[in-house]
Structure 1
């Protein structure tokens, strides 16, 4: 009986397990240290022929480098952690996509970490463990880091982006809302926070900007209301506001959800929008443009708003920064005029 030839290829000898750096080293005829250096682009000490042999062997075996191993060699990994607050950001996907595209262009991969008020200590522990084990090339903080987290990040020397000179985005939003309402003739202004189980890391800055605008224009300080996105709660919040300020009143809202809740509360109370109650939201939610009256909202140019992060990353890692100067308030955010102001 004839014998079948034995396949002695590398894939057969190692079975179905993933290829290791040792497999690459054996196939290329070099040491594992050489494989590590070459695949981490530390090729100055090796000949072009050796570099090509190692890379060809890795490709033939389908070898995938260990992130942990690369972090040990380079002192950092190829990951950049995007720290997001567990907040009501309705255009979160747009934000992640823009940042991911910029980060990937620089040769890194984004890992999204959500921080939150519930279980904050546990989430901080997880983040710190991630930093210690993953050794990220940097952190992008969109408002999710606590003061203790920031201290830890500084202590371990992990680069933090966008760094110094961060634009006061929420100040821009609040001031733009207040100015729009004032330009439309409203002298009684209010700010409406969202009541939600999630964090509100942005609302207070926007409310403060509305208050600063009122002070600069000689208006009475704004009133503050907290609006849940439910029928009875929104109506009660609006009734309390009207008892304080009368009508007409202009309300700068945390987002379009709050604006919609107040619009429908006004309708149930028999009030006219915008004659009695005017509202301006934030984020240009699609549903806000489908209802009647259409919501007036602050519409962000997400790429422009996040341009300072791209600039900071490019400065640190040698990529191309955005062309020209940083965007002004009016370039990053515009008022999409609806029927509620």
Structure 2
């Protein structure tokens, strides 16, 4: 019976408060608040500061997120609303970098994926009261007004269209397509194909990349790229390659939506006994880890996800601080062509 009582007592132990820390350290509660919140312009001796931190550690004190929200007038949460994309290596890398970068600024990133059976985004932001909301598609005006009325201080739209819209942070994905086309045209290719991804949800990114390829072809006086949707299987990719080779002016270089689609094309080329890059050059995008391991190694456009994450975080934190967000993307910093053997 004693063992059961001790277990119940341990499980029902009350949360350690800042008052407990103050009592343990022998200081005022306000001093604990100043030390643990790193409040500036306070003349607290280092010995007192150390005593408070040691007391908090001994007691296992963790600040109440609700109390912080009341004190600051906002939460420490950034809500990122994502569509139900097929998440690959590139998306995972960006989310990891965003999480780390926000954490460095004292903010926690929470992701929510839209889809059947999921809570609606409205339900989510109302329940967690975030300081900021990131979304990959435009927010209706009435929804944004409701967010701001509820205390959301920053609403940033991260979608890949090239058009400038106030309040949006636009990643210039069209530049990826431009760089792909510029590379293969500089290598002497005059008929370009484009391998479009199968999932419709990826059109936010694939559309601008394709448009970048179209623009460069037009500027070079070439035919528009011949577009084929390429699922991630070798037979479908082989069929696309056969189509490109059957054209009156056969395609000799393909710009793929990303490295996964490009690697499907490499597999399809093996089925079709098409030499890469001798008969067909292929260039991808993202520079995922397996790109260098492909046979032949894949030429691609690398995206600097660390710079991308910092740019997003800088935009959000500037808005939260009431400052002007940084200037537009520096594409020279964000994208780099990685030349290997496939193109």
- TM-score interval for Structure 1 and Structure 2 normalised by the shorter chain: 0.7 to 0.9
Tell me the distance in 2 between the aligned counterparts of 1:152 and 1:75.
Answer: 21
Q: 1:196 to 1:18 in 2, by over 3 A?
A: farther
* Partner of residue 131, structure 2: 137
SS in 2 for 1:166: coil
User: Contact 1:94/1:302 (CA < 8 Å) preserved in 2?
Assistant: yes
Where does residue 72 of structure 2 map in the other structure?
A: 74
Aligned residues: 319
| Residue equivalent to 1:103 | 102
State the secondary structure of the residue aligned to 1:335: strand
Structure 1 residue 244: Cα displacement: 3.5
Query: In structure 2, how many angstroms separate the alpha carbons of the residues matched to 1:232 and 1:188?
Result: 23
What does residue 192 of structure 2 align with? 189
One of 298, 310, 317 as aligned partner of 1:295: 298
Q: Retained in 2: the 8 A contact 1:24–1:35?
A: no
8 Å Cα contact 2:21-2:61 kept in structure 1? no
Deviation at 1:15, TM superposition (A): 4.7
Q: Give the TM-score taking structure 1 as reference length.
A: 0.76
Q: Residues of 2 paired with 1:197 and 1:166: CA distance? A: 22
Displacement of 1:177 in angstroms is 0.8
Aligned 8 A contact 2:97 2:306 in 1: yes
Please report how far the alpha carbon of residue 240 of structure 1 lies from its aligned counterpart in structure 2 after TM superposition: 2.4
Which of 19, 29, 43 is the matching residue for 2:15?
A: 19
Residue 282 (structure 1) aligned with residue 278 (structure 2):
no
Q: Could you list the structure 1 runs, at least 4 aligned residues long, displaced by more than 6 angstroms after superposition.
A: 28-32, 34-40, 46-49, 51-57, 319-322, 324-327
Listed as ranges, the gaps of 5+ residues in structure 1 are 1-11
In 2: Cα distance, 1:131 partner to 1:39 partner: 31
Deviating more after overlay: 72-81 vs 274-283: 72-81
Distance 1:78 1:95 in 2: 20
1:8 paired residue number: none
Instruction: Name the counterpart of 1:330.
Output: 332
Deviates more, 1:52-61 or 1:243-252: 52-61
Q: 1:70 to 1:212 in 2, by over 3 A?
A: same
Cα RMSD of the aligned pairs, angstroms, is 4.1
Quote the Cα distance in structure 2 between the aligned partners of 1:79 and 1:269.
51
The residue that corresponds to 2:122 in the other structure is 128
**Which stretches in structure 2 are left out of the alignment for 5+ residues?**
1-6, 159-165
